[in-house]
Amino acid sequence: MTPKSNGKSRANGGTAPDITFYRANEKPYGAFSNLYRREIIFEGRTYPTSEHAYQAGKARKEEVREWILSAPTPSLAAMAAHDLYTWDVTPDWSTTKFDRMRAVLEAKFTQHEDLRALLLSTGTARLVEVGRVDNAVNRLWGEVAGRGSNMLGVLLMELRAALSSHRSDPSAGKRRGRREEDRADAAALEQA
């Protein structure tokens, strides 16, 4: 796999090019998008995508949550949740949303070996969600024209580091495949 590079390598010490992603259907790194269609089990419930699981935490009332979750696509679930009235949003959402995303990503990348392998195959590259439309949401979770917090990328890199360090733990070897197997899985995903 050749990483898509935008010429920047701020966070990885210049050792690897940035890997950029945005659309869920982009090969191979579209799988990093929360819009990527892969079921996850989170908080005892099966969600069609990580976006659905994340947005479910935003709604204060159960009926509003179910309405968001009835969206047939992850992008529609996101749009519905972004337009909630203030009184329909969980009061502490601004302080809990990153922890929720962290937990959702952990579920996604530990429940699916191919996705875990793809994430680990990125090594030390800086992962960047590159938004196409300049707005506050895209600048929070990613970057637009090189500006933004890139929180999705940051959380993915944190998870990658945790999975990598867990992999180096000898007791983790029973559950985790070797690096060569992970590369083979990532290559197979790229071909899919």
pLDDT reported for residue 166: 79
pLDDT reported for residue 17: 87
Judged by DSSP in three states, 40 sits in strand
pLDDT in tens, 93-109: 999 999 999 999 999 99
Q: Which domains does the chain have, with CATH numbers?
A: 19-191 (1.10.357.40)
Judged by DSSP in three states, 54 sits in helix
pLDDT reported for residue 15: 66
pLDDT reported for residue 13: 56
pLDDT reported for residue 43: 96
pLDDT reported for residue 190: 46
Ranges of residues in the chain with a pLDDT under 70 are: 1-15, 168-192
Q: How far apart are CA 22 and CA 43, in angstroms?
A: 26
Q: How far apart are CA 38 and CA 51, in angstroms?
A: 10
> Which phi and psi angles does 68 have, rounded to 5°?
-60, -45
pLDDT reported for residue 16: 74
Distant-in-sequence, close-in-space partners of 9: CB < 8 Å, separation ≥ 6: 15, 16, 17, 18, 126
Judged by DSSP in three states, 175 sits in coil
pLDDT reported for residue 100: 98
Q: How far apart are CA 130 and CA 138, in angstroms?
A: 8
CA end-to-end span of the chain = 13
Distant-in-sequence, close-in-space partners of 85: CB < 8 Å, separation ≥ 6: none
Contact 16, 123 (CB under 8 A): yes
